[in-house]
Structure 1
């Protein structure tokens, strides 16, 4: 399971000209899933995300977590995170899980993140053509792969 996390001042997701998610201070989380991902990956990753110290403290040092700042989160499925660009110029997405595997894991990820953060998580819609807008704060962008824990 791979995520790209962006610290944002605001972020939103629009589908067919309808805004389906909108947050202010928090994290935009782009989530990519492969067939080998498990509930263990979800639990490790959501715990890492909510405790990641990427928000500034009173001394302007990144020392606070999403929990510390009572921030929000929006999760967007993104199979393209597992693109392979080794051959040619057209990315291959063969490593990305198909919907029958990815959707239940995506939903479990969102539910676990809600438990870990203690609040409702906004989302895009799995498989939809989404327009994602954000104001990256910092900018701070971090990539985490649950298969690279060590």
Structure 2
């Protein structure tokens, strides 16, 4: 008993590492998944990319750019033309879309606290000039 009494007080004096402080993440009261990340202050920009005829554009690349030219997020559309980009809350950004068969597209958008739905329509590329006969 004396042996355990000698090492026990020293063991109790050891300092344990403090747990990291983490902001609690709670689900919205409706039980639906949140589209806002409370720890980083992000939301989403999402929508569909379609042709002028209303057909989905698969594999278009969408890029969200901050004012100093910093790329924030980049994704390719899915087969149905849908996309989802992560965006910081509260700012103006440039949303750009490119695709092999369509003209490049870009617009300035403003993101608030709520998810932003932004559908866009791409126009076909101008046909190349006809070849000249030799």
Give the alignment's TM-score, normalised by structure 1: 0.28
Calculate the TM-score normalised by the size of structure 2.
0.30
Higher helix share: 1
